[in-house]
Amino acid sequence: MFFMKDNTLPEYYEFFNSVKVISGYKALENIPYELSQLGAKKPIIITDKGIVKAGLIKHVIKSFQGTKITIGAVYDDTPVDSSNVVVDEIAEIYRQKGCDSIIAVGGGSAIDTAKGVNIVISEDSDDLLKLMGNNRLTKPMKPFVVIPTTAGTGSEVTMAAVIANPSKNVKMQFTSALMLPKLAVLDPRMTLSMPARITAATSMDALTHAVEAFIGPQKNPISDAFATAAIELIRDNIVDAVKHGGNADVRLAMANAALLAGLAFSNSMVGIVHAAAHATGGICHVPHGVANSILLPHGLDLYIRKSGEAKKALHLKQNIEKVLLPLAGPEQYMKVPARERAQGAVKAIRDLTANLNKICGLPVRLSQAGVIENSLPEIAQATINDGAIAFSPVEVSYEEALALIKAAF
Ligand SMILES: [Fe+2]
């Protein structure tokens, strides 16, 4: 690792994560033991129809055969955009069946739904709406296991959930360290069948988490270590995961990368790229990973241009330069002159997304991803209103957000 002399510690920082991670072939088989250690005997499984159809849930159920743990219920109807109505409905099933713990199996929606169910049950409520917001929760949560089936969101190690409130047409944010799962299970069987383009998009979401965490104002030595490790794993495995999805080694590496990136960004947060991706997703329904993949190089371009405006202690440009090292590897890094390394990092990401476009058709422009031109001003406005903008290392105006969206269009 090449450290710069200006690599100072933040004046103050916090880092917290309490999730136990088990990773490997047959990791699923250890869940019953882990649950019994947590005092649980009857979990509810929360998943969606796609996971059942892909045959993934049977691996989970099979792992309980011959153990003392009984599966209390399997809820497999989680929609893509889950809501408080779904959460309250599952909480009711949990109570009726006498469950005592929760296992989420799926992507972002199933995991966030399960976090919502845990809130309602643990706070002994019947209505998620009453518990919305940051740090509103007070009671210890039920034992909660997450088995991610995509390698991207990192939700298995994050303390936040986003759940829709359809009656008001808004997305509600819940944040509390109490919401952290007790256990994250990475087993390559759960991501083996993910299609190439979804693999590419979710991997780029993970890369964006790691890169934004590494250059954001809340970065710290611990988040840096996780972000760097995530970027290296992604560099070495992303193309293989897209091309040869049946390779379990590569899948396990990407699942680890997504988890590491989740550990990094759940503490040091994400910035302009995620703000614009949330806006693009909300207005034009561009999948989250696709939007991040398209917007990441443009967000970095903006940061490089405005790096002089960042607080000096943030070393914004130097941090982007440093991203090139894990992103390209030491050999490539040394070939790029120091003054070109920030742009070199952007180029490395552009080269990667161009390659993914060739391999599986991952869009590289918003216009290829279903965004229509006259929605760009609305997207720019939503970008500067998004919560993630608070963690951008530089101020971003409406005009600058619009220029970014137009450049990505
Ligand atoms: Fe993300």
Residues contacting 168, CB < 8 A, separation 6+:
none
Distance between Cα 65 and ligand 1 center (Å): 35
Amino acid at 347: K
Q: What pLDDT is recorded for position 63?
A: 97
Q: How many angstroms is it from 155 CA to the middle of ligand 1?
A: 9
d(CA 96, CA 118): 15
| Per-chain residues with Cβ under 5 A from ion ligand 1 | 205
Residue 279 near residue 379, CB atoms below 8 Å: yes
Number of Cβ atoms within 10 Å of the Cβ of 102: 29
**Residue 294 confidence (pLDDT):** 98
Domain definitions of the chain by residue range:
20-190, 196-408
pTM, whole model, 2 decimals?
0.95
242 Cα to the center of ligand 1, angstroms: 19
List of residues 6+ apart from 131 with CB closer than 8 A: 119, 120, 123, 125, 137, 174
Rounded CA separation 332/57 (Å): 42
Q: How far is the CA of 289 from the centre of ligand 1 (A)?
A: 7
Per-residue pLDDT of 42-82, as tens digits, reads: 999 999 999 999 999 999 999 999 999 999 999 999 999 88
> Ligand 1 center to residue 66 CA distance, Å?
38
- Ligand 1 centroid to Cα of residue 265, in Å, is 9
Tokens for 92, please give them: 């009711």
**Contacts of residue 169, Cβ cutoff 8 Å, sequence gap at least 6:** none
* Strand partners of residue 75: 46
Q: What is the pLDDT of residue 169?
A: 78
Distance (angstroms) between ligand 1 centre and the Cα of 153 equals 6
Tell me the H-state helices in 216-247.
Answer: 221-243
Please give the C-alpha separations between residue 76 and each of 48, 73, 129, 175, 366, in angstroms, as whole numbers: 4, 10, 22, 25, 32
Backbone angles phi, psi at 312, to 5 degrees: -55, -40
pLDDT of residue 3: 44
**Topology of domain 20-190, per CATH?**
Rossmann fold (3.40.50)
Distance from the alpha carbon of residue 285 to the mean position of ligand 1, in angstroms: 14
**CA of 5 relative to ligand 1 center, distance in Å:** 31
Ligand 1 mean position, distance from CA 9 (Å): 26
Question: E strand or H helix at 204, and its extent?
Answer: helix 196-215
Asked if 20-190 and 196-408 have one fold, the answer is no
Per-residue model confidence as pLDDT tens for the chain (409 residues): 444 455 678 999 999 999 999 999 999 999 999 999 999 999 999 999 999 999 999 999 999 999 999 999 999 999 998 899 999 999 999 999 999 999 999 998 999 999 999 999 999 998 999 888 888 889 999 999 999 999 999 999 999 999 989 888 788 889 999 999 999 999 999 999 999 999 999 999 999 999 999 999 999 999 999 999 999 999 999 999 999 999 999 999 999 999 999 999 999 999 999 999 999 998 999 999 999 999 999 999 999 999 999 887 779 999 999 999 999 999 999 999 999 999 999 999 999 999 999 999 999 999 999 999 999 999 999 999 999 999 999 999 999 999 999 999 9
Q: Which of 3.40.50.1970, 3.30.1050.10, 1.20.1090.10, 3.40.50.970 is the CATH number of 196-408?
A: 1.20.1090.10
Q: 209 CA to middle of ligand 1, Å?
A: 6
Give the whole-angstrom CA distance, residue 90 versus residue 121: 10
